[in-house]
Amino acid sequence: MIAVLGGLGAAVCWAGAALSAARASRLIGARNVLAWVMLVGFVVVAPLTLAAGLPDLDGRELGWIALSGAGNVAGLLCSYEAMRLGRVSVVAPITSTEGAIAAVLAVATGEALGAGSVVLLAAIAMGVVLASGTESVESGRPRRSTFLAVCAAGCFGSSLFATARVSMALPLVFALIPPRLVGVAAITLPSAVTRRLRLTRAALPLVVLSGLCEVGGFTSYALGARHGIAISAVLASQFAALAAVAAYFLFHERLRPLQIVGVAMIAVGVALLTALRL
C-alpha cells in the first residue's frame, strides 16, 4: 500500500513540476529553469542533510548516489529543453516511460512481482500513454524535441532506480540531496559565475513551485520505493496523464476520446492495484 501511495504522491508533485517548468522554460530557457529549480531544492534539502549527519558510505552507495544525482539533472535538462522546443502533450508521454524503465531494472535485479500486479502495471502504463497523447503535429523542432524526450526518459529511469537503492540503504534525505547537489554544482554555480543566470518576475513563482514539487515528488517516491520499486516507479510516471488533465482545467486544453479512455484505464488500474496490495 505504501508503494502505491508513494508512487501516486510523486505523480501529483511531478505533474505540477512539469507544468510550471514548461511555462518557465519558454520565458527564460531550459538551463536557467534547471539552475533555479536545483537551487530551490538545495535550499530546502541541504539543512536537513546537515542535520542528519554524513553516514559511512561504501563504493556501491556512492555509485548509486552519483547515478541518482547525475541522471535526474541530465533528465530534467533534456525534458525542459524538449518542452521548450515542442509540445508538452508530446514530450510528457515519452518521458513518462521512465517508470517502466525503472520497473524493468528492478525486476531484472531480482524484485518479485505477482502476475496480477504485472498486468495492472502494464494497463496503467498504457493508460499513461493514451491519456497524455495528442493528435496535433508538434510545433517547433519535433525531431530534436522527441530525441531529447527519449534521452530524458532513459536518464530519469536510471535515476529513479538509483534513488530507490539509496533510499533503502541510507536515511531518506540522502535520496533527496544528490540531484540538488549535482545541479547546483554543475548548472547553477557555473551559470552564476559566467553571469548567464537570469530570472524574470513572471518566471519566479514558476521555478519556485517546480523546485518544491520536485523535492516533494522525490520524497514521496523514495518512501514508496522502499516497499516496491517497480510499483512506485510506474505509478509515479502517471505525472504525464495528470498533467494532461490539469491542462484541461488550467489552460482549457480539450481531452480527446483516447485521452479520456486513458484516464479511465489509469483510475481503474490504480483502484485494483491498491486493493490488491492492501
pLDDT tens by residue, 66-115: 999 999 999 999 998 888 887 776 677 778 777 777 877 887 788 776 77
Distance from C-alpha of 195 to C-alpha of 198, rounded to nearest angstrom: 8
pLDDT at 134: 54
Whether 176 and 88 have beta carbons less than 8 Å apart is answered as: no
Q: Is 198 helix (H, G, I), strand (E, B) or coil?
A: coil
pLDDT at 103: 76
CA 129 to chain CA centroid, nearest Å: 15
The residue with greater pLDDT, 225 or 37, is 37
DSSP label at 86?
Answer: S
pLDDT at 188: 96
Tell me if the pTM is above 0.85. no
**Average pLDDT of span 128-134:** 63
Using one digit for the tens of pLDDT, what is the confidence trace for 161-213? 998 888 888 888 888 899 999 999 999 999 999 999 999 999 999 999 999 99
pLDDT at 137: 45
pLDDT at 267: 65
Query: What count of residues does the chain have?
Result: 278
Q: Is residue 44 classed exposed, middle or buried when 0-12, 13-18 and 19+ CB atoms within 10 A define those classes?
A: middle
Using one digit for the tens of pLDDT, what is the confidence trace for 13-60? 999 998 899 889 989 999 999 999 999 999 999 999 888 887 777 888
The pLDDT > 90 percentage for the chain reads 34
Q: Which of 119-123, 127-131, 204-208 has the highest mean pLDDT?
A: 204-208
CA 173 to chain CA centroid, nearest Å: 17
pLDDT at 272: 72
pLDDT at 270: 64
The residue with greater pLDDT, 117 or 40, is 40
Residue 259 in this model has a pLDDT that exceeds 80: no
CA 41 to chain CA centroid, nearest Å: 14
Distance from C-alpha of 171 to C-alpha of 29, rounded to nearest angstrom: 34
Whether 237 and 128 have beta carbons less than 8 Å apart is answered as: yes
E strand or H helix that includes residue 255: none
E strand or H helix that includes residue 170: none
pLDDT band at 138 (very low <50, low <70, confident <90, very high): very low
Q: Which of 118, 214, 219 is nearest to 164 (CA)?
A: 219
The region of weakest confidence among 67-81, 184-198, 222-236, 252-266 is: 252-266
Whether 102 and 157 have beta carbons less than 8 Å apart is answered as: yes
pLDDT at 203: 96
E strand or H helix that includes residue 154: helix 142-169
Domain count, the chain: 1
Interhelix angle 239-250/115-132, rounded to 10 degrees, is 30
Residue-number span of the structural domain to which 242 is assigned: 2-277
